[in-house]
């Protein structure tokens, strides 16, 4: 697939990807009002679906109301469901392909639709009403469990049977790049007999992949495991910042609270499951023990996505890679 918009050879945003995001101009305005646009990334550019919609394109998406690109957020598109997501993607891929002149040959419209990524500020992709953070990595659960209870009791007895998670604070989700403030909280120093209130000295990062849920269910109506994927719009990277010293003292028995609710960062581009389809693969087998039938999924249901973490310490100008992994290693992908 080739676009008339240049895509550098190693770029993560070719025409096959087209992740969705929400943005505004760093200075001034983007083409037309409104101020905040919905669109996709292509190479080093962003494509405004909002402007295309105002110009008469992207108007006949199945199950989608016509103002889906007008509200400066992805909620309306996500709620419309997979037929609308596929139709929008197909229309954008057609309009942006090198064999198609409809957009390419309208320079005045093109100038309002296509913008350099460096000229826009990325915002949160959607209003996030709620989120659940799952504990799906066996290695991470073993490491954190060992830190809190010792290696012999690291994995709790429920862990291999169900997706363990906690509810986070949706209002503390911020986009990647925003500054984060070290939290204060109550901690119990080693060998002390009483807690103290202090800045956290054990701020930790977590490399996670988060899913945006689109249509959802009516309260009380279950979604089966087989049907669950129809609700997943796409994936982003997530850093669930954690203050381990605060968490360790507060979290028994009701789970993480202030140790984890002060900042959670997500990457701004939502990569759709359609774009990930060529990378679909099998997760580690869940056979020892086998999970209950209501949780069993047909294979393969995860994706081969390389994940790394680089850290640049204060005062250094070079990053060090501290983590190399892959989404396919997660034991329970259903428990994102």
Ligand X SMILES: O=C(O)/C=C/C(=O)CC(=O)CC(=O)O
Here the tokens at position 38 are: 């919905």
| Residues between 104 and 123 that touch Mg ion (CB under 5 A) | none
Active site residue 140: yes
User: If binding means CB under 6 A, how many residues of this protein chain bind ligand X?
Assistant: 11
307 near 209, Cβ under 8 Å? yes
Here the tokens at position 331 are: 């034991």
Is residue 297 a contact point for Mg ion (CB under 5 A)?
Answer: no
| Residues between 167 and 206 that touch ligand X (CB under 6 A) | 206
Strand partners, 165: 134
Is residue 206 a contact point for Mg ion (CB under 5 A)?
Answer: yes
Here the tokens at position 157 are: 């007895």
3-class secondary-structure state, position 174: strand
Q: Does the annotation place 133 within a ligand binding site?
A: yes
Between CA 77 and CA 30 the distance in angstroms is 21
Residue with tokens 């229309």: 91
Shorter beta-carbon distance to ligand X: residue 95 or 144: 144
113 near 103, Cβ under 8 Å? yes
Q: Does the annotation place 32 within a ligand binding site?
A: no
Quick count: other Cβ atoms within 10 Å of Cβ 132?
13
Would you give the DSSP letter of residue 303?
E
Q: Does the annotation place 16 within a ligand binding site?
A: no
Is residue 211 a contact point for ligand X (CB under 6 A)?
Answer: no
Is residue 133 a contact point for Ca ion (CB under 5 A)?
Answer: yes
Q: Does the annotation place 116 within a ligand binding site?
A: no
3-class secondary-structure state, position 278: helix
Between CA 122 and CA 318 the distance in angstroms is 25
3-class secondary-structure state, position 260: coil
Q: Does the annotation place 208 within a ligand binding site?
A: yes
Between CA 147 and CA 285 the distance in angstroms is 26
* Interface map 239-278 toward Mg ion (x if CB under 5 A): -x--------------------------------------
Is residue 240 a contact point for ligand X (CB under 6 A)?
Answer: yes
Burial, 259: exposed, middle or buried (Cβ in 10 Å; 0-12, 13-18, 19+)?
Answer: buried
Which stretch, 16-24, 97-105, 111-119, 198-206, contacts Mg ion (CB under 5 A)? Answer: 198-206
* Interface map 27-66 toward ligand X (x if CB under 6 A): ----------------------------------------
Q: Could you say which of 37, 53, 140, 167 is catalytic?
A: 140
Is residue 135 a contact point for ligand X (CB under 6 A)?
Answer: yes
Q: What is the closest distance, in whole angstroms, from the C-beta atom of residue 210 to Mg ion in the complex?
A: 10
Between CA 110 and CA 103 the distance in angstroms is 6
Between CA 244 and CA 258 the distance in angstroms is 10
Is residue 145 a contact point for ligand X (CB under 6 A)?
Answer: yes
Q: What is the closest distance, in whole angstroms, from the C-beta atom of residue 83 to ligand X in the complex?
A: 34
Binding site partner of 148, from Ca ion, Mg ion, ligand X, none, Cβ cut-off 5-8 A by kind: ligand X
User: If binding means CB under 5 A, how many residues of this protein chain bind Ca ion?
Assistant: 3
Residues that bind Mg ion (CB under 5 A): 206, 240
Binding-site residues from annotation for Mg(2+) = 240, 260, 264
Active site amino acids: 140
């Amino acid at each position: 697939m080739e676009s008339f918009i240049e895509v550098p050879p190693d770029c993560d945003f070719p025409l096959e990807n087209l992740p969705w995001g929400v943005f505004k101009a760093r200075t001034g305005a983007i083409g037309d009002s409104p101020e905040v646009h919905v669109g996709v990334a292509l190479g080093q550019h962003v494509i405004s679906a909002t402007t295309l919609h105002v110009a008469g394109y992207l108007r006949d998406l199945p199950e989608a109301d016509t103002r889906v690109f007008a509200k400066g957020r992805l909620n309306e598109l996500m709620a419309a469901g997979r037929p609308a997501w596929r139709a929008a993607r197909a229309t954008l891929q057609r309009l942006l392909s090198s064999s198609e002149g409809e957009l390419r040959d309208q320079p005045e419209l093109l100038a309002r639709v296509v913008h350099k990524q460096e000229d826009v500020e990325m915002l949160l992709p959607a209003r996030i009403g709620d989120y659940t953070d799952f504990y799906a990595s066996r290695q991470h659960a073993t490491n954190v469990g060992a830190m809190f209870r010792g290696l012999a009791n690291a994995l709790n007895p429920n862990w291999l049977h169900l997706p363990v998670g906690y509810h986070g604070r949706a209002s503390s989700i911020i986009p990647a790049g925003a500054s984060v403030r070290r939290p204060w909280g109550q901690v119990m120093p080693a060998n002390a007999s009483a807690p103290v209130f202090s800045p956290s000295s054990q701020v930790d990062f977590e490399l996670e992949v988060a899913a945006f849920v689109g249509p959802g269910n009516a309260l009380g109506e279950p979604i089966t495991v087989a049907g669950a994927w129809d609700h997943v719009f796409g994936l982003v990277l997530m850093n669930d910042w954690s203050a381990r010293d605060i968490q360790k003292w507060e979290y028994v028995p009701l789970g993480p609270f202030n140790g984890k609710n002060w900042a959670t960062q997500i990457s701004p581009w939502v990569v759709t499951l359609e774009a990930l389809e060529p990378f679909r693969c099998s997760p580690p087998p869940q056979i020892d023990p086998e999970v209950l039938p209501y949780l069993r999924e047909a294979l393969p249901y995860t994706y081969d996505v390389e994940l790394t973490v680089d850290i640049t310490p204060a005062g250094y100008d070079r990053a060090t890679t501290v983590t190399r992994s892959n989404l396919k290693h997660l034991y329970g992908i259903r428990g994102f």
